[in-house]
Structure 1
Amino acid sequence: MVLRSPVEPLLAQARDMVPAPGALPGELRFQPKFNGYRALVFTLWSAPGPLVQSRRGSLMQSRFPELVDAAADLPDGLVLDGELVVWVEGRMSLEALQRRVVSGGRAAAGLAQEMPAHFIAFDLLQVDGQELLQVPYGERRAQLERLFTDRELSARWTLCPETTDVATAREWLTSWRQVPGVEGLVPMPCS
């Protein structure tokens, strides 16, 4: 099955503490929860081009032309799940991102230059036109990491940090609480 927009992504809940080992069944992975806009990026070169979809199904690629341009680095038939963020003066700015989301036309192009958006990818939902929703998360994550390595993705594309080490997760939670735009951690099963 090939995924087509709109796709409704699963929602994650940030935690403000790291569960104790054994508190939840199975081994866990931890990722930071960013305060941005949840989005999916579709690379459908047979269609009008790459699509950027909000979590509610709205298409937003006209508001983020720099991501559409950067999608040329991605293979056809891909669906990435992640978070749109905008950095202003070295900090994530939800206000700037909200301004970007409501812009269009020339304003969108100007804002793309002034305050470019970045996509923090944390899941791979489709590759080579093959839907991966039934594939265990660990396998999807490995494919996502290979995509970043093989394509040498940078600039607009960021691979979301992840750890299975509880001590590292606790350190992240402590040190990142001071970082505007990071809301907490998202624990998830390794499989």
Structure 2
Amino acid sequence: MVLRPPVDPMLAHAAESVPGPVALRAGVAYEQKLDRHRALLFTQTGPGGTVVVQTRRGALVQDRWPDLMAAAVEQLPPGLVLDGELVVWDAEEGRLSFEALQRRAAARARSAPALAARWPAYFVAFDLLQLGGEELLRWPYRDRRTELEKLFTDYALTAPWTLVPQTTDPAKAREWLETWTDVTGVEGLVIKPLTSKYLPGYRGWTKIRRRDATEAIIGAITGTLTRPQLLVLGRHDQNGRLRAVGRTVPLRPDVSRQVGEHLAAADPGHPFEGVRFTSTWGSRDVLDVVLVRPDVVAEVSADRAVDLGVFRHPLRFQRIRLDVTTSDVPPFGQGPAAAVG
């Protein structure tokens, strides 16, 4: 059967740590997890064969990626389906840029070429679902990976095509989790059983995000002063102004009572006055917040997804830091720095 879009991508469930020796005996591979845009790329066979890019949710967006389309027509064989991530390189910043990726992903067809010239896109492949018109979903992962590597070798594929790094060595995987996640855009690991089939829409893989302990200042809450439901956190910028950096997941009832003991109503002129806070990144749902006096420091657990100084994923509250002051908190824009101590 020839695969045609849309195809539901296989997914991963979240875990907190690299599995131990018992899990490893089953045989798994580790891939570096990128914090980018999931995409499936199809090179279709037959007269007038076209190239199609599909998002995770099934939208066809090839008109937004003219640079990839041109490279695919020139370099990739027909009847191919790749699963991977779209990334964008910002030459001025010298790094992968999620902000630029968002701009390109939202572009209209007429503005896409100019954006492509400024921010070239790359496709980081991690799975091969079809080759030469032959569907490979039932193949074990190890065989799909072997064919994917052979594809890159046989066609001498280079930029904008790249292979996601992969290893079967747990020590190497732990090293990646501890060191490579310092690189912008690399946020953790994906663990895949070597014998697993590709099951569209099924969470058959495991993802692990690196998390770091860090500090931020409680600037607002939802709920009440005595029973806060979640915390809106900030850090001071270079001008000394408190800037919002993220929010926590909902607090447990016992933690809520403990935090409430240290909160006080905000004084006039709070830096968050008039600011609208949304429930999640990219959401239009606005939180109903209560401003609090910004003099309490919270220790939180954060992953590596930080854009323009703001944490894109909810933070996990750890504890109130009564032993430090707001001046000890990392400055706005620093990201998930190590805890103060």
- The alignment's TM-score, normalised by the length of structure 2, stands at 0.54
Larger helix percent: 1
Question: What corresponds to 1:70 in structure 2?
Answer: 71
Distance 1:132 1:32 in 2: 22
Distance 1:87 1:176 in 2: 17
Q: CA deviation at 1:106?
A: 2.9
Question: What corresponds to 1:159 in structure 2?
Answer: 163
Question: What corresponds to 2:187 in structure 1?
Answer: 183
Distance 1:169 1:103 in 2: 36
Question: What corresponds to 2:51 in structure 1?
Answer: 50
Distance 2:124 2:189 in 1: 15
Change over 3 Å in CA distance of 1:45–1:114 after alignment to 2: farther
Gaps of 5+ in 2: 196-341
Larger strand percent: 2
SS of the residue 2:190 aligns to: strand
Change over 3 Å in CA distance of 1:48–1:127 after alignment to 2: closer
Question: What corresponds to 1:61 in structure 2?
Answer: 62
Q: CA deviation at 1:49?
A: 1.2
Question: What corresponds to 1:33 in structure 2?
Answer: 33
**Does structure 1 residue 80 correspond to structure 2 residue 54?**
no
Give the conservation status (yes or no) of the 8 Å contact 2:49–2:78: no
Change over 3 Å in CA distance of 1:69–1:16 after alignment to 2: farther
Distance 2:190 2:173 in 1: 10
Amino acid at match of 1:29: A
SS of the residue 1:22 aligns to: helix
Q: CA deviation at 1:169?
A: 0.5
Q: CA deviation at 1:12?
A: 2.4
Distance 2:153 2:165 in 1: 14
Change over 3 Å in CA distance of 1:155–1:185 after alignment to 2: same
Give the conservation status (yes or no) of the 8 Å contact 2:181–2:188: yes
Distance 1:6 1:129 in 2: 16
Pairwise CA RMSD of aligned residues? 1.4
After superposing the two structures, state which structure 1 stretch, 21-30 or 155-164, moved more. Answer: 21-30
Gaps of 5+ in 1: none
Match of 1:91 among 89, 95, 99: 95
Distance 1:106 1:163 in 2: 41
SS of the residue 1:99 aligns to: helix
Question: What corresponds to 2:122 in structure 1?
Answer: 118
Question: What corresponds to 1:17 in structure 2?
Answer: 17
Give the conservation status (yes or no) of the 8 Å contact 2:181–2:187: yes
- The alignment's TM-score, normalised by the length of structure 1, stands at 0.95
Number of residue-to-residue matches in the alignment: 191
The higher radius of gyration belongs to 2
Distance 2:89 2:13 in 1: 23
